[in-house]
Chain A
Amino acid sequence: MPTRDTGEHQQRSRSTEDVIDEAPKASADVAERKDALDADIDAILDDIDAALETNAEEFVRGFVQKGGQ
């Protein structure tokens, strides 16, 4: 199978159909969807507000790494 890295064709038994595609219908009204997204992002920000470290500036400044690969 071509997503395998040895190029040898093999059938896989596992189906990934259950995880395929949560695409909105092509006919979805874009404006309506934008409103829904905006409401969703407000809820997301509320959730994140509770998790963010206090004193953003100091926290970001204190994140210092040595190099790597």
Chain B
Amino acid sequence: MGIETEYGISVPGHPHVNSMLTSSQVVNAYAHSLQSSHRPNARWDYDEETPLRDARGFDLSRAEADPSQLTDDDNGLANVILTNGARFYVDHAHPEYSSPEITNPYDGVLWDKAGQRIMARAVELIAQTPGLQPVNLYKNNTDNKGASYGTHENYLMARSTPFADIIRHLTPFFVSRQVITGSGRVGRGQEGREIGFQLGQRADFFEVEVGLETTLKRPIINTRDEPHADPVHYRRLHVIVGDANLAEVSTYLKLGITALTLSMIEAGFLDLDQAMAFPVREMHQVSHDPSLKHLVTMNSGRRLTAIQMQMEYAEQARKFVEDRWGSDVDDQTADVLNRWQDVLDRLETDPMSLSSQLDWVAKLSVLEGYRDRDGIGWDHARLQLVDLQYSDVRPDKGLANRLEARGSLVRLTTDDEVRRAMVRPPDDTRAYFRGECLRRYPDEIAAASWDSVIFDVHGRAALQRVPTLDPTRGTRSHVGELLDRCSDAGDLIDALFAATS
């Protein structure tokens, strides 16, 4: 799995600067600051990209597509691959960090946080460069003026899983998981014109139930079928409903409970009926009710709060893990199950006790603090500023960062781990091969992508493309020794081709 995040970008005092150019500056500032061993020279390889393929089994023609859907065009904007296996580039007028592939929620938090720190470093570098206007970056999802930009999760799934099952079980799960994963927002409606607080940054931007689009008419279930892997065996579920989370517990639970739910769907284990007639409207209403009392009406006639809906998924997950693994369950899965239950119990009895764990609660407690202390209403600009500045990536200006620094927001990772994750890939996915090749042979990689590394070996005429179509291969245990043995890319290519011929 992995998380891709488009960051909000602004040049204070200049609201209408060309954000594609400033986003390029951000990427370039960071890329050029790296020591030569970490400096990316390689270009992105677009060969295997199919953004218009629909999981329901058809392709949208390029002529019918909105230009924003043509994400496989090399448009000349900054686009680099980092030695930690991530892609750092300009997407739709925002700098985007796509994390390397990871296998578990804890690593998801770690490499997501690495991306946040990379953005903060870029801001710092630009601020130090004479002649450049300072740029601020925000890990949020809306400007409260009608624009939204995404934080997408990606999950590798077995191709054999029927897409209809995914739609049926994931729709109610997404409607209700906002009570855990929301980042909180001041304002309602796409342009934030209605006053008040809501759980989600993104909820109001979802307009349809199922579809291919990500930039307009956004669907709760996105059908983009671009696995970046062998399509016979895998699909990549592209989840676009999520918020950008700053709280590490929010990110950890978001990935953990969603992965567990997908495992149950893959196994055909889920026995729940939460089908509803109006999921889009319910998604908005759940988000608009921080008292968490809104009752979602099911087709069966049942009416449940979002917490109760999540409790049914959590209970099934506990049974599923017990049934499949019993006492052999790994620590992290057990931890996700326990935290999921604990968070739901507390949301029911005393939600504000989660102010050190979940984004929306942390943000709301600060906002309520200002409302009490300063006697201000929900339409006051100071509250809108708190909402925005919560997500500022700078350590001194970002409110989530300040809450973490004073211990008011729980950390799961350590700074040392995050610093390492900024330059090193995870050990246990193909990101290891990609990142390590870039680190070890920086001058001999011509291009790379999720599913390939292309070598330009000194003294050889042809480029050598090494496909990495299986995300679970190319790990440290798979290729670590081989890489250690090869002092240059030529040795590596010879060894790889000798092994396959």
Which A residues are within 8 Å of any B CB, using their own CB? 1-12, 14-17, 19-24, 30, 33, 37, 40-45, 47-48, 51-53, 56-57, 59-69
Of all chain A residues, the one with the shortest Cβ separation from B17 is: A64
- The CA-CA distance from A63 to B158 in the complex, in Å, is 41
Are the C-beta atoms of A66 and B266 separated by less than 8 Å?
A: no
Are the C-beta atoms of A1 and B10 separated by less than 8 Å?
A: no
Are the C-beta atoms of B385 and A60 separated by less than 8 Å?
A: yes
Are the C-beta atoms of B333 and A1 separated by less than 8 Å?
A: yes
Are the C-beta atoms of B382 and A52 separated by less than 8 Å?
A: yes
Let me know if B412 is at the binding interface, CB within 8 A.
yes
Taking A5-B103, A15-B331, A47-B406 as contacts, is the C-beta distance between A66 and B93 under 8 angstroms?
yes
Measured between beta carbons, the chain B residues less than 8 angstroms from A53 are 12, 385, 389, 397
Measured between beta carbons, the chain B residues less than 8 angstroms from A7 are 158, 263, 266-267
- The CA-CA distance from A60 to B158 in the complex, in Å, is 44
A-B contact pairs, 15 of them (CB 8 A): A2-B317, A5-B155, A5-B156, A5-B259, A11-B328, A16-B106, A21-B339, A41-B366, A43-B406, A47-B402, A48-B386, A51-B389, A51-B402, A62-B13, A65-B145
- The CA-CA distance from A39 to B494 in the complex, in Å, is 66
- The CA-CA distance from A22 to B346 in the complex, in Å, is 13
Task: Given A11-B330, A53-B385, output 14 extra A-B contacts at Cβ < 8 Å.
Answer: A1-B104, A2-B260, A2-B320, A2-B324, A3-B259, A16-B335, A24-B353, A41-B366, A51-B396, A56-B384, A63-B388, A68-B92, A68-B93, A68-B147
Measured between beta carbons, the chain B residues less than 8 angstroms from A47 are 402, 406
Within 8 A of A (CB), among B51-71: 68
Measured between beta carbons, the chain A residues less than 8 angstroms from B471 are 6
Are the C-beta atoms of A69 and B149 separated by less than 8 Å?
A: yes
Among A30, A47, A56, A63, residue most surrounded by chain B Cβ atoms (within 10 Å): A63
- The CA-CA distance from A42 to B158 in the complex, in Å, is 50
- The CA-CA distance from A10 to B198 in the complex, in Å, is 39
- The CA-CA distance from A43 to B406 in the complex, in Å, is 10
Q: Is the interface of A mostly helix, strand, loop or mixed?
A: loop
Encode contact with A along B94-133: 1 for CB under 8 Å, 0 otherwise.
1000000001111000000000000000000000000000
- The CA-CA distance from A8 to B157 in the complex, in Å, is 11
- The CA-CA distance from A10 to B429 in the complex, in Å, is 13
A-B contact count (CB 8 A): 196
- The CA-CA distance from A66 to B266 in the complex, in Å, is 37
Of all chain B residues, the one with the shortest Cβ separation from A9 is: B325
A35: shortest Cβ distance to chain B, in Å?
13
- The CA-CA distance from A66 to B138 in the complex, in Å, is 14
Measured between beta carbons, the chain A residues less than 8 angstroms from B14 are 62
Within 8 A of A (CB), among B382-420: 382, 384-386, 388-389, 396-397, 399, 402-403, 406, 408, 410, 412
- The CA-CA distance from A68 to B388 in the complex, in Å, is 17
Are the C-beta atoms of A59 and B385 separated by less than 8 Å?
A: yes
User: When the two chains form the complex, which single residue of A14, A21, A63 contacts B10, counting CB atoms closer than 8 Å?
Assistant: A63
Within 8 A of A (CB), among B158-187: 158
- The CA-CA distance from A35 to B366 in the complex, in Å, is 15
Encode contact with A along B74-92: 1 for CB under 8 Å, 0 otherwise.
0000000000000000011
Measured between beta carbons, the chain B residues less than 8 angstroms from A33 are 353
Of all chain B residues, the one with the shortest Cβ separation from A10 is: B330
User: When the two chains form the complex, which single residue of B149, B152, B336, B342 contacts A65, counting CB atoms closer than 8 Å?
Assistant: B149
- The CA-CA distance from A69 to B452 in the complex, in Å, is 25
- The CA-CA distance from A67 to B384 in the complex, in Å, is 20
Taking A21-B342, A41-B366 as contacts, is the C-beta distance between A14 and B331 under 8 angstroms?
yes
Let me know if B15 is at the binding interface, CB within 8 A.
yes
Are the C-beta atoms of A69 and B152 separated by less than 8 Å?
A: yes
Measured between beta carbons, the chain A residues less than 8 angstroms from B332 are 1, 3, 12, 14, 16
Measured between beta carbons, the chain B residues less than 8 angstroms from A10 are 330
- The CA-CA distance from A64 to B303 in the complex, in Å, is 39
Are the C-beta atoms of B366 and A51 separated by less than 8 Å?
A: no
Measured between beta carbons, the chain B residues less than 8 angstroms from A24 are 353
Measured between beta carbons, the chain A residues less than 8 angstroms from B472 are 6, 8
Measured between beta carbons, the chain A residues less than 8 angstroms from B381 are 56-57, 60
- The CA-CA distance from A63 to B320 in the complex, in Å, is 46
Among A7, A22, A68, residue most surrounded by chain B Cβ atoms (within 10 Å): A68
Are the C-beta atoms of B412 and A19 separated by less than 8 Å?
A: yes
Let me know if B240 is at the binding interface, CB within 8 A.
yes
Measured between beta carbons, the chain A residues less than 8 angstroms from B143 are 63-65
Which are the 9 A-B pairs with shortest beta-carbon distances? A68-B149, A69-B150, A66-B93, A65-B143, A57-B381, A56-B385, A56-B381, A2-B263, A69-B214
Measured between beta carbons, the chain B residues less than 8 angstroms from A14 are 106, 331-332
Are the C-beta atoms of A52 and B104 separated by less than 8 Å?
A: no
Measured between beta carbons, the chain A residues less than 8 angstroms from B336 are 3
Are the C-beta atoms of B147 and A67 separated by less than 8 Å?
A: yes
Among A42, A44, A45, residue most surrounded by chain B Cβ atoms (within 10 Å): A44
- The CA-CA distance from A64 to B264 in the complex, in Å, is 41
- The CA-CA distance from A17 to B334 in the complex, in Å, is 10
Let me know if B441 is at the binding interface, CB within 8 A.
no
Taking A14-B331, A19-B412, A51-B399 as contacts, is the C-beta distance between A3 and B256 under 8 angstroms?
yes
User: When the two chains form the complex, which single residue of B94, B148, B266, B408 contacts A44, counting CB atoms closer than 8 Å?
Assistant: B408
